[in-house]
Chains A and B, each alone.
Chain A
Amino acid sequence: MYGRKVKLRFFFVLLSLLTLILSVFLIIKSLEENVVYFQSPSEIKVLAEIENKKIRVGGMVKDNSISIQAKEINFIITDYKNEINVIYSGVLPNLFSEGKGVVAEGYLKDKNFFLASKILAKHDENYMPPEVKAALEEK
């Protein structure tokens, strides 16, 4: 139905797309460590050694774990398998609260303690009016 040239061009586009997708896939796969924005407490637990390098740890703020002293805020980041204690002093984003997502940037003291220099709130994909939330909680 179509001319030979049309078919050739079609295969040319198809092949170049395939090649491109495969090579981008390989590049991203090998750069995985840099593509992730933060690590989970479980990934911190299995680290071979603690480097003095700025990293980010993310997860949920454990319920009832926030304690605010004079200048310091302590809380626990959990991924429901492992936990890590975070020590931080500074401004907290509005959405920072217990049971919500958080990303802490800073340095590892050891595998259980993290000195944060910056706290980012990670919000989830749920959007609803307050009344709906209240109704859901009653259930």
Chain B
Amino acid sequence: MFEYFKPNKIFSITSKAPKYVLFLFIVTLTVGLSEALIFSPEDYKQSHSVRIMYVHVPAAWISLGIFSTLTFLSITGYIFKIINFFLIAKSLAPSGLVFNIVALVTGSIWGKPTWGTWWAWDARITSMLILALFYIMYIVAWRIYEKNNKAFQITSIITILGIVNVPIIKYSVDWWNTLHQPASINILSKSTIHVSMLFPLLIMTAAFALFSLLIFLMKYNTELIKIKNKGLDRL
């Protein structure tokens, strides 16, 4: 297993992967956008403004997913001392932050015509803002601490502090009165979104996931090149 953790081995795969991922991303995004903007029906209540959902919801999902992944990688990396995991986490973080901001901005644009306000300090929105702050702290910490060991520790602590916020984001709409509506897509109970709208939503999620993967690969390759240049043959 540790054979694969050699930077050269990994690099031979990850340096070739981006062009395929880019191709897949463009295809998925084209299908997703045309489904979301043209072919999917309008909502009975919100009419066309419902289309913001096809960007807003996938972006929020991906940013939550990436933060959970960061935490998982940091904790296992810390326990088992796997340096590679920290580098993967470091390379994943920027796309998480981007999608977090996308979710906040599109939510704001969506809120104005539907709720009647750009911003509300309700539990869901505020906790999402806190997640963005954790992302920024995480990314800044990598820049401040150039000595690796220190950076590993500090960033792990940030993810552990931040992960507590993730279930709060998820369940805020169920625990408290919020302006934000509860989840429409449920794994255990019946979803309250019509199939014709669920389909473009899932494709857009796949497109955003591929975009995150693409950015991740680019960042990760840079990290590997940095290690190579330092003349280390093992991570």
Contacts and interface: CB of A to CB of B under 8 A. Distances in A.
Interface of A: 2, 6, 9-10, 13, 16-17, 20-21, 24, 28, 32, 35-40, 58, 91-96, 100-101, 103, 118-134
B183 interface: yes
B182 interface: yes
Interface stretch (B30-38, B101-109, B172-180): B172-180
Contacts of A119: 116
Interface string B164-195: 10001000000011110111100000001110
Contacts of B4: none
B26 interface: no
Main SS of the interface on chain A?
mixed
B78 interface: yes
A121 B120 CA distance: 12
Contacts of B44: 128-130, 132-134
A37 B160 contact: no
B53 interface: yes
A32 B194 CA distance: 34
Contacts of B222: none
A127 B192 contact: yes
A123 B79 CA distance: 44
Contacts of A100: 45
A36 B176 contact: yes
Given A20-B161, A120-B117, A125 B183 contact: yes
B79 A6 contact: yes
B75 interface: yes
Contacts of A127: 43, 50, 53, 184, 192-194, 197
B72 to A, nearest CB: 11
Interface in B5-49: 41-46
Interface string B105-143: 000000001111100111100000000000000000000
Contacts of B42: 129-130
23 contacts: A2-B80, A6-B79, A20-B160, A24-B164, A28-B168, A32-B176, A37-B123, A37-B176, A93-B113, A93-B114, A93-B116, A94-B114, A95-B45, A103-B179, A123-B45, A123-B46, A126-B193, A127-B184, A127-B193, A129-B43, A129-B197, A130-B41, A132-B44
